[in-house]
Amino acid sequence: EAEVAQSPRYKITEKSQAVAFWCDPISGHATLYWYRQILGQGPELLVQFQDESVVDDSQLPKDRFSAERLKGVDSTLKIQPAELGDSAMYLCASSYLWGQETQYFGPGTRLLVL
Amino acid sequence: SQQGEEDPQALSIQEGENATMNCSYKTSINNLQWYRQNSGRGLVHLILIRSNEREKHSGRLRVTLDTSKKSSSLLITASRAADTASYFCATVPKGGSNYKLTFGKGTLLTVNP
């Protein structure tokens, strides 16, 4: 069964450093989502792509976070500089069509900022 | 901001017992979904119920929706140790065009063998 791939699975970095996360959605899925999940909370949407275009980035801290999906397939989420409060799980999800309700999640990247 | 709120925050039961989790939300919805998350992993979609539906079943799962009370419940029957996980409800708002999911804080279910 096709899955959403994410790497790395774990990342430890020092504050003020740059970090990047990669996501490869299920083949053919046009919509891609990045979520942040703080321990003990539910995921919160950071950014949503439809193909290569950003649909919603209202919750993305744009002073330090950036996301791209240049060819409308895989995507990268970057944080620069990282802060202690960025320690969280970063989840990528995809869905087949704009508006398809079921989202398929990857295993996530656990980030620890020291 | 999180729209859904699960209750209880944590639930511990014995294998074979039923587990019931509740979700309340604030604004009108297009649909409500339940997801499961095993410790340190991604989320898995369990079931989706639309605003015009009142009950849905999937295997050992039963979901109800009461739009007048803005609440939903997830029942897992004959629980197994493998059901140990966090369970989240997520809502898609009525109207709008990007089907943005808003998750609650989750219920941590522990099934003891």
Does the distance separating the beta carbons of A4 and B42 come in below 8 Å?
yes
Please give the distance of CA B91 from its chain centroid, rounded to a whole number.
10
Q: What is the largest CA-CA distance in chain A?
A: 39
Number of H helices, E strands in chain A: 0, 11
Task: State pLDDT tens for residues A17-76.
Answer: 999 999 999 999 999 999 999 998 999 999 999 999 999 999 999 999 999 998 889 999
Q: Is A106 on the interface with B (CB under 8 A)?
A: yes
What residue ranges do the domains of chain A occupy? 5-95+106-113
Report pLDDT digits (tens) over B28-58: 998 999 999 998 888 999 999 999 999 999 9
Written as six digits, the tokens of B4 are 């859904």
Strand partners, A86: none
Distance CA A25, CA A35 (A): 14
Nearest to A108 among B30, B41, B98 (CB): B41
**8 A C-beta contact, residue B110 and residue B13:** yes
Calpha distance B85→B98 (Å, rounded): 28
CATH class as words, domain B5-112:
mainly beta
pLDDT digit string (tens) for A44-58? 999 999 999 999 999
Q: Which CATH number fits domain A5-95+106-113: 3.40.50.720, 3.30.460.80, 2.60.40.10, 1.10.10.10?
A: 2.60.40.10
Cα–Cα distance, B74 to A88 (Å, whole number): 27
* A55 and chain B in contact, CB less than 8 A: yes
Q: Is A86 helix (H, G, I), strand (E, B) or coil?
A: helix
DSSP 3-state percent helix, strand, coil across chain B (nearest 5): 5, 55, 40
Do A99 and B100 lie within an 8 Å CB cutoff?
no
Rg (alpha carbons) of chain A, rounded to whole number? 13
